[in-house]
Structure 1
Amino acid sequence: MKNITPCLWFDQEAEEAVNFYLSIFKNSWIEQTTRLGEDGNGSEGKVMTITFYLDGQKFMALNGGPHFQINEAISFVANCETQEEIDELWEKLSEGGQKVECGWLKDPYGVSWQVVPTVLGEMMSDTDPEKTQRVMQAIHQMKKIEINKLEEAFAQG
């Protein structure tokens, strides 16, 4: 097996969604677009699939019709090094979508994202359960994660 590519099923918004993501993530591009041929119902030329990369990660978008809806059971984790990266990504991805909680948001196409600092993984793997508990309590009080508040919670005690 060479790799695994997540496929996002859209009703008819695949091209619009891909362009939205490409406008947000650096190191992103479209690899291939397939369009429908003549089928007698006026769909000729419409996008069927787009293979694209976001920050080097391969994805596929499919215009599959209204049969299935994207939901929170699947989310993408965007790891950020700085608060500035979190702030920028949080605002751009959630514009027209929904800011949820604990670093989670939904973009305008219903895709769920977790915008988190890379330092969170280090904090949560600490051997002191009191520290990790304080960090979790701090996260549950946030929508967008704020690194300074996590660091304060981690350092208490």
Structure 2
Amino acid sequence: MEKVIPFLMFQDGKAEEAMNFYISLSEDSEITNIVRYGANEGGDEGTIMQATFTLKGQEFMCIDSNIKHEFSFTPSFSIYVTCNTEDEIRNLYERLNEGGQALMPLDDYGFSKKFGWLNDRFGVSWQLNLPK
């Protein structure tokens, strides 16, 4: 096995918007490669055929699916973020929750200082943790 990379499949042409939003959440994050569909290439021209981006050094891959699926993201797989400060976790939670859905509001659940779980506006699930 050479590498393991989380892979996100977006529908409705949202991959690039999602990547730009995600890299805006943290320093040391960037889009590293984008390959777009051209004319007559099986996807909507200009959408993401394949792209990679990093969040704090963690590489992700994503696409815009050219096939409409009856499924989307599920909270049973989420991006887990360990935060350093109260301000950081509060800011991330607020930004990710805009247009999203709170699954566990930001609070002290006993296993950490603060924890929150939510789906962002793209349907991707995030767990945010501020350790004790």
Find the counterpart in structure 2 of residue 87 from structure 1: 90
> AA paired with 1:74?
F
| Cα distance between partner residues in 1 of 2:43 and 2:10 | 19
Higher strand residue share: 2
| 1:24 and 2:37 matched | no
Cα deviations by residue, 1:93-136 (Å, 9 ceiling, x for unpaired): 111111221611110000111111133xxxxxxxxxxxxxxxxx
> AA paired with 2:55?
L
Q: Which of 49, 68, 79 pairs up with 1:66?
A: 68
Identify unmatched segments of 5+ residues in structure 1: 120-157
- Output aligned runs, 1:95-110, within 5 Å: 95-101=98-104, 103-110=116-123
Find the counterpart in structure 2 of residue 76 from structure 1: 79
| 1:4 and 2:33 matched | no
Deviation at 1:40, TM superposition (A): 7.2
Higher helix residue share: 1
| Cα distance between partner residues in 2 of 1:10 and 1:41 | 16
| Cα distance between partner residues in 2 of 1:43 and 1:32 | 18
SS in 1 for 2:128: strand
Deviation at 1:38, TM superposition (A): 2.3
Q: Tell me: CA distance 1:40–1:30, structure 2 relative to 1, closer, same or farther (3 Å).
A: closer
> AA paired with 2:27?
K
| Cα distance between partner residues in 1 of 2:6 and 2:21 | 17
Q: What count of residue pairs does the alignment treat as equivalent?
A: 119
Verify the 8 A CA contact 1:35 1:45 in the aligned structure 2. yes
Question: Larger RCO: Structure 1 or Structure 2 (Cα < 8 Å, ≥ 6 residues apart)?
Answer: 2
Find the counterpart in structure 1 of residue 58 from structure 2: 57
> AA paired with 1:110?
G
Q: Which of 101, 115, 131 pairs up with 2:128?
A: 115
Give TM-score scaled by structure 1 length. Answer: 0.69
Verify the 8 A CA contact 2:37 2:43 in the aligned structure 1. no
Give TM-score scaled by structure 2 length. Answer: 0.81
Q: In percent, how many aligned pairs have the same letter?
A: 42
| Cα distance between partner residues in 2 of 1:62 and 1:32 | 12
SS in 2 for 1:22: helix
